[in-house]
Amino acid sequence: MLERTITDWDDAYTNAAYIPGGDSWPERWAAQAARFRESIQASRAELDLAYGEGPRNRLDLFRPERSPKGLVVFIHGGYWLKFDKSYWSHLAAGPLAHGFAVALPSYTLCPQNRISGITAEVARAIAFAAERVAGPIFLAGHSAGGHLVTRMISATSPLALEIQERIARTVSISGLHDLRPLMMTAMNEGLRLDDAEALAESPALLRPMPKARLIAWVGAAERSEFLRQNALIANIWVGLGASTAAVVEPDRHHFNIVDGLIEADHPLTRTLLTE
């Protein structure tokens, strides 16, 4: 019998140190995103739309060439502590090729905000985008964003019922679904998670909303905690009535796992857009 104990929680949730050239990835993302924004027709890009009163309550909305079939909302990660929408514009390419509009919001980061506050802001961003694009809604989020989109389809979702009923599928990419371990990391100085908030904001500790459809997607080369968290939410929620699947994509790590969304024919894009 092989017993496993985690003694270094900071290391368990460290990604860049275990990825070749890990520190260079944010610069790569920003450059790819900028090139994408430069390449798309101005008439198809609505940038920095205000969905709330905060300075980071802004989203970018990209539209396909014809009337959209529906709306994709991508929520970025960064442990709720860093990044914004400007790093991820290029991930709209795959859904756009299929005829879907894509919204990418920023949100107020910790420690200026709490995770529960970010949850509320993301719900406002989704509702704002949903007013502008008709049809089904598909949610995708990476890492902390994976937590946030899964939180949107939990039984205590802050989304209005009419928005919930439009959500066709959610894909949590390398998502964090049980927040309690993060209380044992140094980053909690900025997150300020306590027991009450961890319990209220952890999708794995909540029931799914009725008819929830969730795909938990992770890279085979990711840290073991992300593999565990991916399997955890799919396993728990299928036992609570949701439709779930856990996918482990070969040859992907925490930073390149999102790249599938760039490609129209990649399994990640096709899975997201399946009604």
User: What's the pLDDT at 2?
Assistant: 78
pTM over 0.85: yes
Mean pLDDT of the chain: 97
**Mean pLDDT to the nearest integer, 59-64:** 98
Comparing CA positions, the residue from 236, 165, 248 lying closest to residue 204 is 236
CA distance 117 to 212: 23
Give the CA count within 13 Å in the CB-facing half-sphere of 2. Answer: 0
Per-residue pLDDT tens over the stretch 83-133: 999 999 999 999 999 999 999 999 999 999 999 999 999 999 999 999 999
Quick one: residue 213, left, alpha or beta (phi over 0 = left, psi -120 to 50 = alpha)?
A: beta
pLDDT of residue 109: 98
pLDDT category of residue 64 using cuts at 50, 70 and 90: very high
| pLDDT the model gives residue 88 | 98
Whether the per-residue pLDDT at 173 is higher than 90: the answer is yes
Q: How far apart are CA 120 and CA 124, in angstroms?
A: 6
CB within 8 Å of 183: residues ≥ 6 apart: 193, 194, 195, 198
Work out the pLDDT band at 174, boundaries 50, 70, 90: very high
Contact 117, 171 (CB under 8 A): no
| pLDDT at residue 217 in the model | 98
pLDDT at residue number 68: 98
- The alpha helices in the chain, defined as continuous H runs, are 9-12, 25-39, 93-97, 115-132, 144-152, 161-164, 188-191, 195-201, 224-238, 267-272
**Please, where are the H alpha helices in 40-114?**
93-97
CA-only gyration radius of the chain, Å: 17
User: What is the model's pLDDT at position 3?
Assistant: 85
Name the residue with tokens 């209220």.
200
* Whether the Cβ atoms of residue 107 and residue 91 lie closer than 8 Å to each other: no
Instruction: Decide if pLDDT at 153 tops 90.
Output: yes
Q: What is the mean pLDDT of residues 141-157?
A: 98
Mean predicted confidence (pLDDT) in 181-198: 98
pLDDT of amino acid 184: 98
What domains are there in the chain, each with its CATH number? 44-272 (3.40.50.1820)
**SS3 of residue 26 by DSSP:** helix
pLDDT of residue 275: 80
Dump pLDDT digits (tens) for 201-231. Answer: 999 999 999 999 999 999 999 999 999 999 9
